[in-house]
Amino acid sequence: MRGCVLHGQKDLRLETLDEPALKPGEVRVRIATGGICGSDLHYFFEGRVGDFNVREPMVLGHEISGDVVEVGADVTRTRIGDRVAVNPGKPCRTCPHCLGGRENLCANMIFFGSASRFPHVQGAFRETLVVRDFQCFPVPADTKHTNLVFAEPFAVALHAVAQAGSLLGRRVLITGAGPIGCLIAVAARRAGAEHITITDLSDKPLEIAARIGADETVNVLADSETPNRWQADRGCFDVCFEASGSARAVETCVLSTRPGGAVVQVGMLAPGLTPIPLNRLLAKEVTFKTSFRFHEEFAWAVSALTTGGVDLSPLATAQFPFEAAADAFAAARDRNSNMKVQIVF
């Protein structure tokens, strides 16, 4: 069995990996499609994500879908032949956070393709993967993998929207028109947002954002006047989602949120401290929340993708065979050409 192993910055190798025997409660999935996430790009090009450095060879990837090819003893959720979305997180289910219904905050979380722990948690960009039965979400056999593989990032977006509270009739700003920003737009519309504005530094992702339902798109590199107008009279948006990981965008969100509104930080910021205009938050009583991964939203995402009429496959702008994974990462970095690049196994 082969996998995509990162040995250092831009050093991705296709290597033979051991194929472990199944333990009780485990399932072997033949991976069909993997989506390259922003964190995968950071690991590949920078050797780190936020405060997490790659310190040993690590298989990348956590956005995956596939088909069950083997089941272990005591498996009740899936059967051989099932098509499944795979939740990449495996919480301990015993800590106070898990027992309190917030598994995304589990201090002992095992999350595929993550350098947050050492030894690192190996990722899912491989031909087959062993997971716990409860990580698998069976779907109808005719579900397209190109759509199903969006379950994980869509769950991230759904969790961010849930953090914001009710969006019914609300004016929403999203900074960053990458995959997560666009998926937040989809989730916000489903949650009843009345008007959605999304910003970016490039025109191509904004074009895609408009196609998936944003009411207004603004290239803030070319148009600095529009954001200035948002900030007049103490802000005009009810809720702002910061999805770019830019300190400047955090400031824009705070200044553009009306008194009594909310800002949700979704994008992972650079290591170290990030300046925030806290006095503005205080004087406007703006709620500042953060959003990290997801919990029950993964099941919501799978349901929406399979029964709720949500087709996200148009966001998949390019596909590459497994053997050309390095080329796929290069393409995924080109935001003027691609939104979401997928690897086909």
- Quote the mean pLDDT of the chain: 95
Chain Cα centroid distance, residue 134: 20
Domain ranges within the chain, ordered by starting residue: 2-150+312-344, 157-290
pLDDT of 146 reads: 92
DSSP 114: B
Tell me which architecture the domain covering 2-150+312-344 has in CATH. Answer: Alpha-Beta Complex (3.90)
pLDDT of 52 > 90? The answer is no
pLDDT of 318 reads: 96
Angle at 160 between CA 186 and CA 83, to 5 degrees: 65
Mean pLDDT of the 92-96 span: 92
Distance in angstroms (rounded) separating the CA atoms of residues 175 and 246: 9
Mean pLDDT of the 76-86 span: 96
Mean pLDDT of the 288-304 span: 96
pLDDT of 17 reads: 95
pLDDT of 214 reads: 96
Mean pLDDT of the 75-88 span: 96
Instruction: Please name which of 286, 297, 236 lies closest in space to residue 263, comparing C-alpha atoms.
Output: 286
Q: Please report which helix (H) or strand (E) contains residue 204, including its range.
A: helix 203-211
**What SS3 state is found at 53?**
strand
How sure is the predictor about 95, in pLDDT bands with cuts at 50, 70 and 90?
very high
Neighbours of 18 (CB within 10 A): 7
Instruction: Please name which of 227, 250, 241 lies closest in space to residue 180, comparing C-alpha atoms.
Output: 241
Mean pLDDT of the 175-200 span: 97
Indicate the range of 52-56, 175-179, 223-227, 310-314 predicted with least confidence. Answer: 310-314
- Is 98 in contact with 56 (CB distance < 8 Å)? no
Buried-exposed string 220-241: b where 16+ CB fall within 10 A, e elsewhere: beeeeeebeebbeeebbbbbbb
pLDDT of 272 reads: 83
Evaluated on CA atoms 165, 170, 174, 179, the torsion sign reads positive
pLDDT of 28 reads: 98
pLDDT of 311 reads: 86
DSSP 143: -
pLDDT of 24-45, one tens digit each? 999 999 999 999 999 999 999 9
Q: Phi and psi for 158 in degrees, rounded to 5? A: -65, -40
- Is 54 in contact with 8 (CB distance < 8 Å)? yes
pLDDT of 51 > 90? The answer is no
Mean pLDDT of the 250-254 span: 96
pLDDT of 127 reads: 97
Instruction: Please name which of 161, 121, 140 lies closest in space to residue 65, comparing C-alpha atoms.
Output: 140
pLDDT of 223-243, one tens digit each? 999 999 999 999 999 999 999
Distance in angstroms (rounded) separating the CA atoms of residues 123 and 49: 15
Instruction: Please name which of 159, 107, 194 lies closest in space to residue 290, comparing C-alpha atoms.
Output: 159
pLDDT of 50 reads: 78
289 or 51: which leads in pLDDT: 289
pLDDT of 98-150, one tens digit each? 999 999 999 899 999 999 889 999 999 999 999 999 999 999 999 999 999 99
Q: Would you say the CATH fold of 157-290 matches that of 2-150+312-344?
A: no
- Is 155 in contact with 301 (CB distance < 8 Å)? yes
pLDDT of 192-201, one tens digit each? 999 999 999 9
Mean pLDDT of the 337-345 span: 95
Residue linked to tokens 């959605």? 196
pLDDT of 309 reads: 83
157-290 CATH choice from 3.90.180.10, 2.60.40.740, 3.40.50.720, 3.20.20.120: 3.40.50.720
Mean pLDDT of the 203-210 span: 95
Mean pLDDT of the 317-323 span: 95
